[in-house]
Chains A and B, each alone.
Chain A
Amino acid sequence: SQQGEEDPQALSIQEGENATMNCSYKTSINNLQWYRQNSGRGLVHLILIRSNEREKHSGRLRVTLDTSKKSSSLLITASRAADTASYFCATDRIDSNYQLIWGAGTKLIIKP
């Protein structure tokens, strides 16, 4: 069963523009994480936001969490060609017993 669902499934923008991806989930969580996956590579951790946090920043990344709506967003500002990748959210459910539940991802393409 999928806990997290990303929206949109695919996003294509011009270099320099901002990119926003959303993640929705179904049950109560301890934390939510965002990962990036470049083509043919493993996933790389970007940001972890805990259930008692509302916003977190890391460089050009901004993540928000709204536990009342069971949703999160990832904003990448001033996008670069190197940001082209798939982005996944993963939730750590309170009752999950160590397991992360992953969304299907958003494929982001940055056009030069």
Chain B
Amino acid sequence: NAGVTQTPKFRVLKTGQSMTLLCAQDMNHEYMYWYRQDPGMGLRLIHYSVGEGTTAKGEVPDGYNVSRLKKQNFLLGLESAAPSQTSVYFCASEQGANQPQHFGDGTRLSIL
């Protein structure tokens, strides 16, 4: 049972480039989340989804887009990367409201 898998694990981009981060979960969870983690700060929610075909904005959505075309996958896109988006990105899934979240091991993204 793989749980939550994030790809890629590491990536370096130049300012202005675009990329997509993939999150896949095999637990049939309804809810999925994208967070960013920066030094000295707690996780900040970028976007989330409460079911296939639905997405919503979190605390820091600007500069990011998401899609949930299949229940098991949640994609995070950066259309035009900026140095301020250098961070570690975590995906999480959750069976339902008020349940524990299950995390992937993160994508370490550097924007030069």
Contact = CB atoms under 8 A, between A and B. Distances in A.
Contacts of B56: 98
B103 A42 contact: yes
A98 B92 CA distance: 13
Interface residues of A, number: 25
Given A42-B4, A42-B106, A104-B42, A98 B97 contact: yes
Contact of B59 (A90, A99, A103, A105): A99
Contacts of A102: 42-44
A90 B103 CA distance: 14
A2 interface: yes
B13 interface: no
Contacts of A61: none
Which of A41, A45, A98, A101 has most B Cβ within 10 Å? A98
A110 interface: no
Contacts of A33: 100-101
Interface residues of B, number: 25
Interface string B13-53: 00000000000000000010000000011111100101000
B101 to A, nearest CB: 7
A40 B4 CA distance: 15
B48 A88 contact: no
Interface string A21-57: 0000000001101000000111111001010000000
Interface in B41-93: 41-45, 48, 50, 56, 58-59, 90, 92
Contacts of A100: 43, 45, 101
Interface of A: 1-2, 4, 30-31, 33, 40-45, 48, 50, 88, 90, 92, 98-105
Interface of B: 4, 31, 40-45, 48, 50, 56, 58-59, 90, 92, 97-106
